[in-house]
């Protein structure tokens, strides 16, 4: 199941530090994600998980350290460039384009990295027509993959909560990511929905992309992740297979506290 360690490193996070004023959100975090690997990030609230996502996607600027995708540095690049290079994300608090239809939302993702500009659009040049057709095909594919095809014409705001989460996933996948960052996808789901979601995330690998997953539900994380990294107070305190992590004393301490502190 787990890809062998010999598969090339997809994303390399090296000694990343992020500070907001005097607060250290991340402190020298190292993390490697290999191609097609599903890596979970867990940790108590405020541990720096979402900051890690923000720094990888270029939203937050690191005060130290480097991030590279397939060997190319991406630190400091503009966000849309990072997305075009192959890193897409979903949001913890759903952030869809609510007044666009489901199809339009996914189309927007599929437009990612297009190089044809306004002249092509204006004159209906062949490469623009080809790109539009490709974006439409990609969109249909993603809608089918996430089971949203029958809602294609619905406004995103009118979708059920679960379908909105799926749409976030479809939109991010439409950008043809090499690495997909998924931020707490199962929040507010019942056990059946969680199971379906876990299956969906596992099958994302079929598109050849790796996954970095933030999730509080430990069953989902241990169930689908090849590897888990644990953050606490901005530091990585453990990194290993689900079995190793659940047995790690440092992790247990971070989550449950030390006996004498309780």
Partner 1 sequence: MKSLRPLAAVALIVFLYLLPIVHIPLLDSEDFDFPSLLFYPIGIFVLLAIGLYVTIGLAGLLNLGHVAFFAVGAYTMGLCNTLLGWPYFAVLPLAVAVSMVFGVLIAAPTLRLRGDYLAIATLGFGQVIQIFLTNAPGLGGVRGISGIAPPTSIGPLVFGVLDPVPFVWLVLTLILIAYFIVRRLESTHIGRGWNAIRADEDVAELMGVPTYRLKILAFAIGAGIAGAAGATYATKASFISPETFDLSLIILLIAALTIGGTRSLTGAIVGTLLVAYLPERFREFGDLRMLLFAAVLVLMVIFRPQGLFGRRLPREAESGSEVVENVKGEAHGTA
Query: Where do contacts with partner 1 occur on this chain (CB under 8 A)?
Result: 57, 59, 78-80, 83-84, 88-89, 91, 95, 97-101, 104, 107-109, 111-114, 116-118, 121-122, 124, 128, 131-132, 135, 153-155, 157-158, 171-172, 175
- Nearer residue to partner 1 within complex by CB, 74 or 224: 74
Spatial neighbors of 95 by CB under 8 A, at least 6 apart, are 168
Provide the minimum distance between the beta carbon of 212 and partner 1 in the complex, in angstroms, as a whole number.
15
Q: Which of 223, 261, 216 is nearest to 242 (CA)?
A: 223
Provide the minimum distance between the beta carbon of 96 and partner 1 in the complex, in angstroms, as a whole number.
8
- Nearer residue to partner 1 within complex by CB, 125 or 243: 125
Determine the Cα–Cα distance for residues 32 and 34; give it in Å rounded to an integer. 6
Determine the Cα–Cα distance for residues 180 and 205; give it in Å rounded to an integer. 10
Determine the Cα–Cα distance for residues 72 and 106; give it in Å rounded to an integer. 27
Report whether 13 contacts 212 (CB < 8 A). no
Determine the Cα–Cα distance for residues 134 and 136; give it in Å rounded to an integer. 5
Helix (H, G, I), strand (E, B) or coil at 123: helix
- Nearer residue to partner 1 within complex by CB, 108 or 187: 108
Provide the minimum distance between the beta carbon of 107 and partner 1 in the complex, in angstroms, as a whole number.
6
Q: Which of 175, 195, 174 is nearest to 186 (CA)?
A: 195
Provide the minimum distance between the beta carbon of 90 and partner 1 in the complex, in angstroms, as a whole number.
10
What token pair was written down for 172?
Answer: 């991010």
- Nearer residue to partner 1 within complex by CB, 7 or 79: 79
Spatial neighbors of 58 by CB under 8 A, at least 6 apart, are 74, 76, 77, 78, 79, 81, 82
Provide the minimum distance between the beta carbon of 111 and partner 1 in the complex, in angstroms, as a whole number.
4
- Nearer residue to partner 1 within complex by CB, 57 or 232: 57
- Nearer residue to partner 1 within complex by CB, 7 or 158: 158
Provide the minimum distance between the beta carbon of 246 and partner 1 in the complex, in angstroms, as a whole number.
33
Q: Which of 157, 111, 113 is nearest to 137 (CA)?
A: 111
């Amino acid at each position: 199941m787990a890809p062998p360690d010999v598969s090339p490193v997809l994303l390399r996070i090296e000694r990343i530090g992020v500070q907001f004023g005097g607060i250290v959100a991340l402190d020298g975090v190292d993390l490697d994600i290999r191609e097609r690997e599903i890596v979970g990030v867990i940790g108590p609230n405020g541990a720096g998980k979402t900051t890690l996502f923000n720094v990888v996607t270029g939203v937050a600027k690191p005060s130290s350290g480097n991030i590279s995708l397939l060997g190319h540095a991406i630190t400091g690049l503009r966000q849309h460039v990072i997305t075009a290079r192959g890193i897409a994300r979903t949001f913890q608090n759903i952030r869809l384009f609510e007044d666009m239809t489901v199809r339009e939302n996914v189309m927007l993702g599929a437009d990612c990295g297009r190089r044809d500009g306004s002249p092509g659009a204006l004159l209906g040049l062949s490469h623009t027509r080809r790109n539009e057709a490709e974006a439409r095909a990609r969109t249909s594919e993603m809608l089918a993959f996430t089971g949203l095809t029958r809602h294609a014409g619905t406004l995103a705001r009118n979708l059920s909560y679960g379908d909105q989460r799926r749409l976030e996933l479809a939109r991010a996948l439409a950008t043809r990511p090499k690495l997909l960052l998924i931020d707490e996808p199962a929040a507010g789901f019942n056990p059946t929905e969680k199971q379906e979601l876990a299956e969906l995330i596992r099958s994302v690998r079929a598109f050849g992309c790796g996954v970095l997953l933030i999730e509080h539900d430990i069953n989902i994380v241990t169930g689908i992740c090849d590897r888990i990294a644990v953050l606490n107070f901005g530091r990585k305190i453990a990194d290993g297979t689900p079995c190793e992590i659940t047995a790690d004393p440092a992790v247990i301490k971070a989550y449950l506290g030390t006996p004498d502190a309780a």
